[in-house]
Structure formats: C-alpha cells, structure tokens
C-alpha cells in the first residue's frame, strides 16, 4: 500500500453523445492526472460492460442498446505504458430498476453525466502484466 495526499479536484459535466471511457481518459491526459480517483452519476444512451472470465483470462462484453441510469460509477487513474489510464466499474439500471454492472468499456455513450475527478499526490502506481490473473495490475515496487 502507498500513501497519497489529496490534490486538485474537478467537478463537472461530460458531453452529451460522448464515449464515457474516452472522455474520462482524455480529461486525465489533458490535465496530466497520473494518479487519482473518479466518481459519477448520470445516464447513458447505450452501454458496453465487461466481465473478466477468470478461467479463460479474457473479458466477455455485454452491450445494452437502451437508455440506462448510472447508479454508481467508481474508478481510479494510474499509469499504463507511462500514460494516464482510467479503470472504472459502473452500475447501471433500466426503466424497471434492474441493475447491471461491470467493467466500463468503450462504446458506452453518454446522455448526461456529472463526474468528480480528484488527482492525488504521490508516486503513481504503474500497471504491468500479472501472470497469475492475466490482467494489467498495479506493479508492487
């Protein structure tokens, strides 16, 4: 575990029709955020969520072609290949209140989103291939 201190914090709205993951990554890269945390609420027009199959060491993706509410969105920012990398999990609900969740994937298109992005001060975690899980996890240094 590493210790970080709070840095600058941004609170704002992401653009209608933007790709949620791409918008978050672009914001972090533009503002030089190498380590941080992300929260958000809102709604999407369509969603793509990943679920990691622990046996096959591969993601399966589900696409929802319908409006959904963002019940909760939480994630982090670290470095992958020396660039800011956003990792987010998201819970969405449909018009009946059923919830869906998973790893935020490209193709999740925004209707409206309000997000909080907080930079943290400290040596940024770096992602590297973990042979046990097959995932790009934080490397222990």
CB 117 within 8 A of CB 105: no
Kindly report, residue by residue over 79-125, the tens digit of the pLDDT. 999 999 999 999 999 999 999 999 999 999 999 999 999 999 999 99
Q: Structural domains in the chain?
A: 5-122 (3.30.1330.80)
Q: According to DSSP H, which parts of 1-141 are helical?
A: 20-30
Question: Residue 102 forms beta bridges with which residues?
Answer: 90
pLDDT surpasses 90 at 141:
no
**29 confidence band (pLDDT: 50, 70, 90):** very high
Position 140 scores a pLDDT of 81
Is the sign of the CA dihedral 73, 80, 138, 136 positive or negative?
positive
For 4-20, write each residue's pLDDT tens digit. 999 999 999 999 999 99
């Amino acid at each position: 575990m590493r210790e970080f201190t709070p840095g600058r914090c941004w609170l704002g709205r992401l653009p209608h029709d933007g790709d949620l993951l791409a918008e978050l990554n672009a914001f972090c890269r533009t503002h030089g955020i190498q380590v941080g945390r992300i929260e958000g609420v809102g709604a999407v027009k369509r969603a793509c969520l990943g679920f990691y199959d622990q046996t096959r060491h591969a993601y399966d993706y589900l696409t929802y072609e319908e409006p959904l509410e963002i019940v909760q969105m939480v994630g982090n920012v670290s470095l992958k290949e020396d660039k800011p990398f956003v990792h987010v999990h998201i819970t969405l609900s449909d018009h009946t209140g059923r919830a869906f969740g998973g790893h935020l994937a490209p193709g999740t298109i925004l209707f409206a989103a309000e997000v909080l992005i907080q930079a943290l001060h400290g040596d940024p975690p770096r992602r590297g291939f973990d042979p046990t899980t097959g995932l790009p996890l934080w490397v222990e240094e």
